[in-house]
Amino acid sequence: MADQETFPCQICGDHKRENDLVPAELIRASIVDVIVKEHPAWSPEGYICHADLNRFRMDYLRDVLEKEKNEYASLEEPDKHGVKEEDHLPGNINVEFEKELTFGEHLADKIADFAGSWSFIAVFTVVIFLWVALNTFILLFRPFDPYPYILLNLLLSALAAVQAPVIIMSQNRQEMRDRLHAERDYQVSIHTELEIHRLHKKIDHLLTGQGQRLLEIQNIQVELMEELARKTP
């Protein structure tokens, strides 16, 4: 009878009925690639039994999952040319900057801060009024700086001459601090751009590679279900 005719399986070599075999030309190309790696003599004109075919299908699925795992791991690797991981959260620039200042620079900053405050204006006003009061009313007969207060003018001129360069030095350091802030902001922007690019790569990977492999796996599942349906009486 025709249903008793047998054909050899290209993999195991056993002769089986045609219902227990699958024509080689009907095997998916992705499965054929797996078969050829193990059996280079594979021919599209022969047959393969269901047991061997399912084994190669499982090998293919394992390869797909392993490849998926490796690709995802490669996406998680940090960019060698990007910003280092420790630069993700910027350090406190002010603290780092303060550690490098000398005593004179600290003192200049303190003087500049005080000279630009209302406290300095109040103290300065009180000193002038006391100076004028002492030399006009209290020490009326023997003032140490009589009107027009030449000594006071000299002191004020000396104070302005010293105060100006101190304030300029403080402003220069403030500009340096601002440059450090700008540089750190640039590093954070670069890091953010790299992270966004990495996220785009992951999304593209999910939309292309994983989608295609998922469709391939679903097609294999459909083939298995169809084979089971044909075997069911």
Domain ranges of the chain: 2-77, 85-209
Q: What is the pLDDT of residues 83-114, one digit of tens each?
A: 454 445 556 666 666 777 777 777 888 888 88
Provide mean pLDDT across the span 1-11. Answer: 71
| Mean pLDDT for all residues in the chain | 78
- Whether the predicted pLDDT of 59 surpasses 70: yes
- Whether the predicted pLDDT of 227 surpasses 60: yes
Q: By percentage, how much of the chain surpasses pLDDT 90?
A: 3
> 108, exposed or middle or buried, with CB in 10 Å at 0-12, 13-18, 19+?
buried
> What's the alpha-carbon Rg for the chain, to the nearest Å?
43
More reliable by pLDDT, 61 or 157: 157
Indicate the DSSP class of residue 148: T
- Whether the predicted pLDDT of 186 surpasses 70: yes
Give pLDDT, residue 2.
Answer: 44
Count each helix (H run) and each strand (E run) in the chain, helices first: 7, 4
Give pLDDT, residue 1.
Answer: 41
Provide mean pLDDT across the span 198-227. Answer: 73
Distance CA 24, CA 39 (A): 13
Give pLDDT, residue 34.
Answer: 86
> 28, exposed or middle or buried, with CB in 10 Å at 0-12, 13-18, 19+?
middle
Provide mean pLDDT across the span 35-60. Answer: 86
Distance CA 57, CA 28 (A): 10
Query: What is the model's pTM?
Result: 0.44
Q: By percentage, how much of the chain surpasses pLDDT 70?
A: 80
Lowest-confidence pick of 68-77, 168-177, 192-201, 214-223: 68-77
Give pLDDT, residue 136.
Answer: 83
Q: What is the pLDDT of residues 132-145, one digit of tens each?
A: 888 887 777 788 88
Instruction: Give the CA distances from residue 147 to residues 123, 124, 131, in Å, rounded to whole numbers and listed in that order.
Output: 22, 19, 11
Give pLDDT, residue 48.
Answer: 87
| Nearest Cα to Cα of residue 187 among 51, 87, 68 | 87
Distance CA 167, CA 92 (A): 24
Distance CA 104, CA 24 (A): 87
- CA of residue 105 relative to chain centroid, distance: 37
